[in-house]
Structure 1
Amino acid sequence: MKRDLAKTLSFLTLHFIVGFSVAYAFTGEVGISSAIAVVEPMANAVVFFFHERVWRRAGERTRSSDSPSGLAFHC
C-alpha cells in the first residue's frame, strides 16, 4: 500500500511538472501554466471515470452476446 501511494504521488508530481512545462513553453506565463497544470489532471480524472464506465458497459454487452443463451454470467 505504501509503495502504491508513493508511486501515485511521484506520478502526480511528474504529471504536474510536464503539464506546467508544456503550458509554459506555449504561453510563457507562470500563472496560466500553473492553472493548466492543476486543472488538467482533474479534468482527466473526470474523463477517465466516464471512459471506464463506457468500457465496462461494452464489456458487459460483449459477455452477454458471447454466451450461448444470450445471458451474461458473472463470476
Structure 2
Amino acid sequence: MAKTASFAAVHFTVAFGVGYALTGSAVVGGALALVEPACNTLAYHLHEKVWKRIEARRALHPAAASAPLRL
C-alpha cells in the first residue's frame, strides 16, 4: 500500500507541475492534478479489460498467439 500511495503522490505532483509550468496557474495545475489521474485510472481499467479479452482468445487459440495483434 505504501508503494501505491507514493506512486499516487508522484502522479499528482507531476500532473500539477506540468499544468503549472504550462499555464503559470496554480488553479489549472490543481485541476489537472485531480482530473488527469482520474481519467488515467479509467483508461487503465479499460486497457486491462481489452488485454484480458486478448489473453482469453490466445488461451483458446494458441496458434493465434504468434499472429499479429488485431484490435
Answer whether TM exceeds 0.5 for this pair. yes
Q: CA deviation at 1:66?
A: 1.4
Q: Note the C-alpha offset of 1:35.
A: 0.5
Aligned length in residues: 63
The correspondence for 2:53, drawn from 49, 53, 57, is: 57
Q: Greater relative contact order (Cα 8 A, min sep 6): structure 1 or 2?
A: 2
**Which stretches in structure 2 are left out of the alignment for 5+ residues?**
64-71
Give me the TM-score of the superposition, normalised by structure 1. Answer: 0.79
Q: 1:8 aligns with which of 4, 20, 31?
A: 4
Q: How does 1:1-75 map to 2 (within 5 A)?
A: 5-66=1-62
Q: Per the alignment, in what secondary structure is the counterpart of residue 61 of structure 2?
A: helix
User: What's the TM-score once normalised by structure 2's chain length?
Assistant: 0.83
Q: CA RMSD in A?
A: 1.2
* Structure 1, gaps ≥5 residues long: 68-75
Amino acid at match of 1:16: F
Distance 2:28 2:59 in 1: 46
**What is the CA distance between 1:7 and its match in structure 2?**
1.0
Q: Which runs of 4+ in 1 moved over 2 A?
A: none
The structure that has the greater radius of gyration is 1
